[in-house]
Amino acid sequence: MSEYAFFEATRIFKRAVPLMVKYKVPTTPHYFSLWYTYCAGTHPELNQAVDATVAKFGICSREKCDSLIESFLIGDSKKELDNFRQKVETLVADLGNSMDATVSDTEEFQDILSSSVTKLENVQHKASSGADNQQVIHELLQGSQHLLSATSQYRLQVTTQKAEIDTLKKKLEEYKNQATNDALTGCLNRRAFDQQMADYNTQNVEVSVIIADIDHFKVFNDEYGHQMGDSVLKLVASKLEYSMKDYGLVYRFGGEEFAALVPSVSFTNAWSIAEKARATLERLSVTDKKSGKKINSITASFGVASRHAGEDMEELLSRADEALYDAKGRGRNCVMPKAR
């Protein structure tokens, strides 16, 4: 590293750490990568997103930092990895199909050989003709027996390889789920949400966005601990997925925030769906098995917006977000729509 490069890196470091402390960001290498990039000024879109977050909340939560890192710092590499994985999946699928066909053909061929060997043995046993015929039959029998043995070994090898291919396919599917599903709640993650939004945008699909934010979630964590908070998140995710199962998919949007994409329903129906989900949540309770402590009042605030023809998905998401803040401003535990 040149003297200038070292000086520049030191300067950026001295700016990044105080900002992390100021905005209550854990000073770990994972989050430092975000704030180092921010202070270096090499990613203008990232800086705009960070500035907007700080201006709005006064801090930059771990969840928001994770979202920013996901969106701006590792998005490209994940796209490349996705592309690579897709090619591998296609290759594995083709190999698997080929193996299935080969195993089937090999089994059929082995049955034919086995039958032929039996017939040759009978012919040799019953033959009463000359020595030349006996020799020909003997050679045919030996060749068939050798081929049968080789085929059996090949079948075993192919079967083993097919098992390995099946295992690889299973692992690839698990990896795919890890890339698109939230590890804690099991529902789809923000990355999957962004991808679906992009697909709907390309297809110009009429869709409604429902955003739900658990009310006073920080109080749960502070009073009962993070383990209890995790239990609340998992329970809320499960109930939201159940409420939305006939309408659309649920995503963990970040922290205590969830989102649902509901295609092909009217604005009024989307509002009604959100209200049913809200009513389901307010009846929930969670008990800590170790301490016996119980949370009886789990509620959430909801924002709803529906897409108009040709509307950009970012505008739609922004309106749903505004509706959510309206709901919080009205005392929480309610659903607020936001028309265009």
**Residue 146 CA from chain centroid, whole number:** 51
Cβ–Cβ < 8 Å for 277, 244: yes
Contact between 215 and 278 under an 8 Å Cβ cutoff? The reply is no
- Decide: 53 and 64 in contact? Cβ < 8 Å: yes
pLDDT digits (tens, 9 = 90+) for 32-58: 888 988 988 888 888 999 999 999 888
Bridge partners of 52? none
* Reported confidence tier of residue 319, pLDDT bands at 50, 70, 90: very high
C-alpha 339/C-alpha 304 separation (Å) is: 9
Q: Is the dihedral of CA 39, 42, 46, 48 positive or negative?
A: positive
Mean pLDDT is highest, among 14-18, 168-172, 332-336, for 332-336
Whole-structure pTM value: 0.55
**Residue in the block written with tokens 């509002």:** 271
Active site residues: 256
Residue recorded with tokens 């979202």: 67
Secondary structure in 3-state letters for the chain: CCHHHHHHHHHHHHHHHHHHHHCCCCCCHHHHHHHHHHHHCCCHHHHHHHHHHHHHHCCCCHHHHHHHHHHHHCHHHHHHHHHHHHHHHHHHHHHHHHHHHHHHHHHHHHHHHHHHHHHHHHHHHHCCCCHHHHHHHHHHHHHHHHHHHHHHHHHHHHHHHHHHHHHHHHHHHHHHHHHHECCCCCCECHHHHHHHHHHHHHHCCCEEEEEEEECCHHHHHHHHCHHHHHHHHHHHHHHHHHHHCCCCEEEEEECCEEEEEEECCCHHHHHHHHHHHHHHHCCCCEECCCCCCEECCCCEEEEEEECCCCCCHHHHHHHHHHHHHHHHHCCCCCEEECCC
Strands 335-337 and 300-306: parallel
Distances (CA, A) of 212 to 219, 243, 252, 267, 298: 17, 13, 10, 16, 12
Distance CA 93, CA 173 (A): 12
Query: Among 100-104, 115-119, 206-210, 244-248, which is the least confidently predicted range?
Result: 100-104
Lowest mean pLDDT among 46-50, 91-95, 180-184, 225-229: 91-95
Backbone angles phi, psi at 263, to 5 degrees: -85, 155
Which residues, other chains included, contact 213 with Cβ-Cβ below 8 Å and sequence gap of 6+? 256, 257, 258, 300, 301, 302, 324, 328
Residue pair 289/278 in contact by the 8 Å Cβ criterion: no
Q: What's the pLDDT tens digit per position in 189-229?
A: 988 898 899 888 888 889 999 999 999 988 888 888 888 88
Measure the CA–CA gap between 185 and 333, rounded to whole angstroms.
Answer: 21
> 3-state SS of 285-331?
CEECCCCCCEECCCCEEEEEEECCCCCCHHHHHHHHHHHHHHHHHCC
| Nearest one of 11, 32, 8 to 21, comparing CA atoms | 32
pLDDT, tens digit, 9 for 90 and up, residues 226-280:
888 888 999 999 999 999 999 999 999 888 999 999 998 999 999 999 999 999 9
